[in-house]
Every structure is written in structure tokens, then in C-alpha cells.
Amino acid sequence: MGICIAVYLTQMASEFLLGSDLPALLGMKINQAILRGEVWRFLTPMFLHGSIVHIAFNMYALYIFGPSLEARFGRGRFLLLFLISGFVGNVFSFIFSAAASLGSSTAIFGLLGAEMVFSYRNQGLLGSGARRVLINVLTVAGINLIIGLSPGIDNWGHIGGLVGGSLFTWLGGPLLVVDGIYPDLKVTDRRRSGTVFLAALGVGGLFLALAAFWMILQNGG
């Protein structure tokens, strides 16, 4: 959240001092720029925003969904989740949408996907509470995808973020088990750190390869 706010302040300063939003021009998802080799644009859009309303809405969503997921995933795995979701969202947008785009909603939809997969895979331990969360998050995601059909909203980026966050969590998210002997019981995550790394590498590598293949096709190769 702090990085997104700092970047937006830089955007505002650039607009005020230079008359143009230089960070957005250099970092937003622009398909032709990516085809020229500016591949950092698969990552940088998730830290950029187009207006104060845009960043306020996204930071509020991050504030609502982020802390609980970070507590369960741990800081490092949560950061991987955020980055992979945003990256996959921008790959989807690159392939399926010609419009320029920016915003952290790609990554935030990945958090929704992560919440759904976490609740589904751990419902045996978490019980009816997990099922309620799953239904609520599915409803929120569905409503926002319907809203995303409006002009000017990069719904392909949202769908991609949802896919990326869901895949990463399925392969590398927490799997909770009860360890110990009564009364010294504790809930632990049986997912090993090596598996988390491989999940990040696998999901990221898959969509990097897909983006590279699409770039070759678009460049006439």
C-alpha cells in the first residue's frame, strides 16, 4: 500500500512540475511499447493509478482484504501473491485487450482469488466460517466483474489477476493442519517454503512463456 501511495505522489509531482505524468507514460500497460521490448510494463502498472478516486478505491480494497491474507500467508508469500497476480493480470490484458491500462486492481483481484482458494482448501478445518467467506468473496468478485463490463475498465486484467492469485494459492498457499497432542494443540501450515517458491516460479514462468509466445506472434515471428 505504501509503495502505491508513494508512486502516486510521484505521479502527481510529475504532473505538476513537468506537465505530464511521466511515471504513467513510462510504466502503464501499452501493448505496442511491450512489443518493442518494454517488458517491465507487465509489472509496473500495478503500482500506478490514474486518479485520486482510482487509488482511493484500490487502496481501500487492499486495506479490507490484505491484512488478513498477509497474516495467514506471511509477508514474503503475500508479496509473491500480489506480484504474481498483478503480473498475470497484465499478461491477460496484453493478450486480450488493446487498451492502455494501469492500476493495482489486477493484484487485488488476485487477493480475492487467493481468499476463495484458501477458504475452499481449508474448509475442513475452518468449518462453516470458511464456507461463508467463500460465498461472500465469490459474490464480491462476481459483482466487480459485472461492473468491469463498463467502458474504460480493464476487465481482462481483473480476470487474469483472479486466475493468477487462485493458481498460486492452490499450488503454494497455506494448507492448515492441527499438530500436537491435546491439550497442546496448534494449527500449522504444512506447505513447505520450497513448494511456495516452486509455485511462484511455475505460475510466473507459465504466463511469462505465454506472453513471450504472444509477442512473437504479434511481431510476425
- What residues act catalytically? 105, 158
CA distance 142 to 122: 22
Asked if 207 and 88 count as a contact pair (C-beta separation under 8 A), the reply is: yes
Q: How many other C-beta atoms lie within 10 A of the C-beta of residue 28?
A: 20
**DSSP codes, 37-89:** T-GGGGTGGGG--SSHHHHHHHHHHHHHHHHHHHHHH-HHHHHHHHHHHHHHH
What's the DSSP call for residue 176? E
Residue with cell string 506447505: 191
